[in-house]
């Protein structure tokens, strides 16, 4: 019985030494440098500004000329901004916003819009057009992006 207690105690001591050595070698006991590094990283990287979204509703359905016949496009757009006042301007001047976007969309070429580059060019043009409307009533350069959330062409 005494011999079993000695063997069990020795095995327990061996396991404890193994776990302690592993923790020491992996640096688990050095908590301060890890916390300090995390604190430095938090100080260096500022938190991103909140992005506010405005769904331009209802979606647009636009006719435009294709190569051989009339085509139509259904598109949904979301405007992204950091400025809450822009959301109010977009709501208050929705008819003007929709008119501006309808004119822009009706000028598009279906062959160009089939490509990724064409869609990106449309996004850029939409940002400029919406910023033009917003700048009449507030300030310019407030629109971060225009996201195309749905696009169907036929």
Residue 101 maps to which CATH number? 3.30.479.30
For residues 115 and 77, state if they share a domain: yes
For residues 83 and 39, state if they share a domain: no
- The one-digit pLDDT tens for each residue of the chain (154 residues) are 777 777 876 776 677 777 776 766 776 656 555 555 565 655 667 767 899 999 999 999 998 877 778 889 999 999 999 999 999 999 999 999 999 999 999 999 888 999 999 999 999 999 999 999 999 999 999 999 999 999 999 8
For residues 73 and 91, state if they share a domain: yes
What pLDDT is attached to residue 117?
Answer: 97
For residues 32 and 56, state if they share a domain: no
What pLDDT is attached to residue 102?
Answer: 95
For residues 65 and 131, state if they share a domain: yes
Judge whether 67 and 136 are in contact, CB under 8 Å.
Answer: no
Find the domain containing 12 and state its range. Answer: 2-44
* Number of compact structural domains in the chain: 2
For residues 8 and 81, state if they share a domain: no
What's the pTM value of the predicted model, to 2 decimals?
0.68
Of 55, 147, 132, the C-alpha closest to 100 is: 132
What pLDDT is attached to residue 6?
Answer: 74
What pLDDT is attached to residue 42?
Answer: 57
What pLDDT is attached to residue 123?
Answer: 97
What pLDDT is attached to residue 2?
Answer: 72
What pLDDT is attached to residue 28?
Answer: 63
For residues 100 and 75, state if they share a domain: yes
For residues 75 and 147, state if they share a domain: yes
Rounded CA separation 130/126 (Å) = 6
For residues 80 and 137, state if they share a domain: yes
For residues 23 and 90, state if they share a domain: no
| Burial class, 41, CB count within 10 angstroms (exposed 0-12 / middle 13-18 / buried 19+) | exposed
For residues 37 and 71, state if they share a domain: no
């Amino acid at each position: 019985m005494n011999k079993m207690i000695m063997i069990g105690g020795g095995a327990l001591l061996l396991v404890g030494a193994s776990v302690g050595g592993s923790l020491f070698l992996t640096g688990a006991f050095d908590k301060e440098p890890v916390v300090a590094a995390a604190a430095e990283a938090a100080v260096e990287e500022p938190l991103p500004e909140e992005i506010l979204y405005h769904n331009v509703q209802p979606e647009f359905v636009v006719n435009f000329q294709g190569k051989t016949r009339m085509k139509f496009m259904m598109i949904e757009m979301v405007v992204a901004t950091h400025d809450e006042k822009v959301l109010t301007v977009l709501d208050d001047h929705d008819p003007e916003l929709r008119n501006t976007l309808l004119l822009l969309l009706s000028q598009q070429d279906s062959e160009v819009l089939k490509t990724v580059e064409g869609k990106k060019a449309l996004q850029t043009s939409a940002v400029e057009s919406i910023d033009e409307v917003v700048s009449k009533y507030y300030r310019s350069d407030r629109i971060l992006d225009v996201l195309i959330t749905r696009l169907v062409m036929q």
